[in-house]
Amino acid sequence: MVLRSALLVLVAAVAAPALNLLDNPTFERHQGDAPSGWHWNPAKAEATLTVDTEVSRSGKASVRIVNPSAKKPHVYGSLSQSVTVAPNRKYAFSCYVKTDGAGAAWIGGGKKWVYRTPLPRNTNGKWQRVSSSFTTAGDETSFTLRIITESKTDGIWLDDFQLESGGVATPFVYHPPLDPGQVRLELSPFDPGQNLVPNPSFETVDGVRPKGWMWDRRNTDATMTISEDVVRSGKVAVKFVNGTAFGPHIYGWFGFTAGVPVKASTAYTLTAFVKSETPGRAWIGGGKGWKVRCGIPKTDGEWRRISKTFITQEEETSFALMVISE
């Protein structure tokens, strides 16, 4: 059996475009001046919200806020929408605004409204994007995005809202509303993500083993050698030969010595290229309790890519990556 390269990558990095978590972000769906999916509360202010079908950045509508009330404590108007989020994760929110004497106004929200990004007072008749980011708390599963007007405002137009996973706002993409029975299919280029394994293709050799890796034949007659004759890419691969019959607790172990840093309760994908004639019982994987196991198949002398997606366990912050020959 010959193992070529080991890759441990974040599944979260696979999807290139971000998913907008907000419903009706361009206000195309509305009943009168009530945009679907959003909640308007003038509170103690005399502020009003209207759906403007003559002014928009994309689509056919935007919303306009007018507030004749002077700035006073606890006097404000609020446009909001709540979404489901994951704990301990970065998110970015953004919207496009066009203002004319906006007064004191901001976008943000969260628990106790801790995130507040001011809206520009005057955009000179042009649409301007406002964005910021935040990180959810360990017990936070819901986030309420808000637009708050706190003082006299002649006019704020808002359009193209976005709330997405990740710390940076990505370009807004307008999707026209679907008619009943219609389905939208979006195809995105594959992004393999970041490889978390140092020296994944064994090119750096320290004596008789790849740097950062360790071999222990334990209670077998198995051997691990550096191969320069049979490689998939680069200059070397590692080769395992094991003549010991299968038995309980009998195996050869090849592993990454330091452990791969990971986040608890997070999805990852483990992949490797293998080439084998008669691999016997062998697998690549590991983790806490060695519960992640991707079997190495017979490949009839051809290089084959194998992979397994898994979720790290609670409180698991280091993944023990290994190859086992049984």
12 has a pLDDT exceeding 50: no
What are the phi and psi torsion angles at 232 (to 5°)?
A: -90, -40
Percentage of the chain lying above the pLDDT 90 cut: 61
Measured in degrees and rounded to the nearest 5, phi and psi for residue 217 equal -75, -15
- For residue 94, give both structure tokens: 């953004």
Give burial (CB, 10 Å; 0-12/13-18/19+) of 296.
buried
pLDDT in tens, 139-181: 899 999 999 999 999 999 999 999 999 888 999 999 888 778 8
The mean pLDDT value for 197-222 works out to 91
Tell me whether the CATH fold assigned to 2-14+192-325 matches the one assigned to 30-165: yes
Domain locations in the chain? 2-14+192-325, 30-165
pLDDT of residue 271: 87
Q: What integer pLDDT is reported at residue 176 of this predicted model?
A: 87
Strand partners, 215: 254
Instruction: Determine the residue type at 7.
Output: L
Percent of the chain's residues with pLDDT above 70 = 92
Q: Which CATH superfamily is domain 2-14+192-325 in?
A: Galactose-binding domain-like (2.60.120.260)
Residue among 101, 103, 323 at smallest CA distance from 217: 323
> Nearest CA to 167 among 194, 195, 128, 136?
136
Beta sheet of 48-52, edge-to-edge order? 48-52, 62-67, 153-165, 90-100, 128-135
Q: Distance between terminal CA atoms of the chain?
A: 12
What architecture (CATH level 2) is domain 30-165? Sandwich (2.60)
* pLDDT at site 278: 80
Sequence-distant (6+) residues with CB within 8 A of 146 are: 78, 79, 80, 107, 108, 109, 113
The one-letter amino acid code at 31 reads Q
Contacts of 124 (CB under 8 A, 6+ apart): none
What is the average pLDDT across 129-145? 94
Residue 1 pLDDT grade (very low, low, confident, very high; cuts 50, 70, 90): low
The 8-class DSSP code of residue 190 comes to B
Query: How far apart are alpha carbons 249 and 246 in whole angstroms?
Result: 9
